[in-house]
Structure 1
Amino acid sequence: MADFFAHRRPGEGPGLALFLNAGDPPLDVLADLVLMLDEEGVDCLELAVPFPDSVTDGPVIRRSARRALDRGVGLDEVLAFIAAVRPRLRRLRIALLADWSHSLKHRDPAGTLRTIAASGADGLLVHALPPRLRAAHHAAARDAGLPVVTTCYQRSSPPTMAEAAAEATAYLYLVAHYGRSGTAPAGGHAGLAGTVSALRAHTASPIAIGFGVRTREDVETVGACGADAVIIGSAGVARIEQSLDRAGDVIDGFRAFVRSVSPIPVNTPERTGS
């Protein structure tokens, strides 16, 4: 089991995972950005193989995916990218996100999972995997030694939640809101505490919450409800888009974003008021 958030110490707040589409920014710039995330203490990069017209993503991430696709980035390019950058990382884990229909459906399942594991990816989240294929997918991932990210919603049925929790070997992604990425639950993230507690009974893997997390306050609220980590997608991707539109420094702009959302350890002067 990959311990995606092992570096967190008591008082540091929840682990931090960031979503980006591979190829947005371009892969050469992305390599420097990934090294910066490692330096800044980010725990996990959820790196997506870009795919078009995602029904679960809002306009920010869909535009990002289109830019990456227009640059010719697909699964092979992403795996080569991971293989090149992974040996240079000290802390950052990489969870690959791949859409079943666009990136995996037409490939040999077992062979592809072995190739993904060999690239150095620390885990895999398959988007829109047909339910009938889940058991075979999880078995093939175990055989390949590839930890699996599973997902469920706050309003998923208890059996669905239990299954997702039991099969998570990298981390369990609890989607805060049934809708498109970038949207938050109407009652706020604090209302997820009961769901996190219920999921604990079914998994020893970390539980990460995403959708609608934009600010440090959101991050701390997620941590207070018992989650091990928070996943930020649209807010970070929007910062990339702003830098590209303004011909700004993508790395410096994203570094500032990371620092703006990172939780402040409880024993720092900023937290204690010293």
Structure 2
Amino acid sequence: MADGFFPQPPGLAVFLNAGDPPFDVLDDVADMLDDHEVDVLELGVPFPDSISDGPVIRRSADRALAAGTELEDALAFVARCRARHRHLRVVVLADWAHTVRPRSMAQVVTAIAESGAAGALLHGAPPRARPDFYDRAGAAGLPVVTTCYASSSAEVVAEAGSHASAYVYLVTHYGPSGAGPAPDPDALRVPIDALRALTDAPIAAGFGVRTAADVERVRAAGADAAVVGSTIVACAEAAFTKGGDVVGDLADLVTGLRPHHRRSLRPVSHS
């Protein structure tokens, strides 16, 4: 099933780090994503040395950190997006060790909720910290993106299903982002069916999603949406470092991911 996050399956979520590319370019990228009816931008608050990310996303985070990007900068971007976008929703990915623990769960959850973010994903939180996150997010009215692997234990899947109020991010395979095989619909049907029995929240599958064929594999497995991360970040990196057209290159990429998707661009202002 799909809800407001992914109204026209197959939905599409893309990942970028806040501050990479720089915010003046990222603002234009977000406008393009909204025009192209990309459903979700998963916006990472950059943090170093991620064990779940491959070199492409790690380089992106390092560039954003070198530019001084903080949580406050990311949330100011979220607030700008909310004010002007009619389709795109921004979900904030915050790392437990780098972003949450030096502040407090209460401070971070409140700040994300007040920015107008459509949801939050807490990365790398130990089991003892997650109940506090779920409780505070619920009290703040902040939808939660939960995660589990296709091969996760029944206990982990149950936690993901019971606490998802935005969507479940189903990671298709172990290993760092940007590596690994394309999604296997046959292998994904079982965990997707298991999640369906536990939650009404939509399910978005990611890792290994690089092409329109991969998006179709995710849809064929029964997921509501595909998540594309390293391919998006690599495209932005290549264009920006070569002085190219970041927005145009990303527009071509997202168009190619859903070649049959019909969209209606926002009216052009002549003021």
Q: Deviations over 1:8-58 (max 9, x none)?
A: 1xxxx4100000011111011100110110000100000000111101000
Deviation at 1:7, TM superposition (A): 2.9
Deviation at 1:3, TM superposition (A): 4.4
For 1:136 and 1:183, the matched residues in 2 are separated by 32
Q: Deviations over 1:155-209 (max 9, x none)?
A: 1101110111110001000000111001234773442011101110000000000
Relative to structure 1, the CA distance from residue 187 to residue 91 in structure 2 (aligned partners, 3 Å threshold; closer, same or farther) is closer
Aligned residues: 261
Answering whether residue 178 of structure 2 is matched by residue 182 of structure 1, we say: yes
For 2:186 and 2:250, the matched residues in 1 are separated by 27
Counterpart residue number, 1:252? 248
For 2:64 and 2:4, the matched residues in 1 are separated by 26
State the superposition RMSD in angstroms: 1.6
Answering whether residue 78 of structure 2 is matched by residue 82 of structure 1, we say: yes
Amino acid at match of 1:14: P
Deviation at 1:85, TM superposition (A): 2.3
Residue range with higher mean Cα deviation, 182-191 or 60-69: 182-191
Deviation at 1:215, TM superposition (A): 0.2
Answering whether residue 92 of structure 2 is matched by residue 96 of structure 1, we say: yes
Q: Deviations over 1:189-248 (max 9, x none)?
A: 442011101110000000000001000000001001100110000011110111012110
Amino acid at match of 1:7: P
1:51 aligns with one of 47, 50, 53: 47
TM-score of the aligned structures, taking structure 1 as reference length: 0.91
Counterpart residue number, 1:147? 143
Contact 1:4/1:44 (<8 A) preserved: no
Contact 2:13/2:39 (<8 A) preserved: yes
For 2:53 and 2:155, the matched residues in 1 are separated by 25
Amino acid at match of 1:117: A
For 2:134 and 2:169, the matched residues in 1 are separated by 16
Q: Deviations over 1:51-81 (max 9, x none)?
A: 1110100000001111111111110111111
Give the 3-state SS of the residue equivalent to 2:168 in structure 1: strand
Relative to structure 1, the CA distance from residue 248 to residue 63 in structure 2 (aligned partners, 3 Å threshold; closer, same or farther) is same
Give the 3-state SS of the residue equivalent to 1:95 in structure 2: strand
Counterpart residue number, 1:5? 5
1:161 aligns with one of 157, 162, 176: 157
Q: How do 1:96-245 residues align onto structure 2 when only pairs under 5 Å count?
A: 96-185=92-181, 188-245=184-241
For 1:169 and 1:24, the matched residues in 2 are separated by 28
Contact 1:49/1:98 (<8 A) preserved: yes
Contact 1:38/1:90 (<8 A) preserved: yes
Counterpart residue number, 1:63? 59
For 1:190 and 1:182, the matched residues in 2 are separated by 21
Deviation at 1:109, TM superposition (A): 1.5
Q: Which runs of 5+ in 2 are unaligned?
A: 263-271
Q: Which runs of 5+ in 1 are unaligned?
A: 267-274
TM-score of the aligned structures, taking structure 2 as reference length: 0.92
For 2:174 and 2:191, the matched residues in 1 are separated by 14
For 2:87 and 2:183, the matched residues in 1 are separated by 34
For 1:190 and 1:58, the matched residues in 2 are separated by 25
Q: Deviations over 1:103-129 (max 9, x none)?
A: 111213223212211101110001001
Identical columns (%): 53
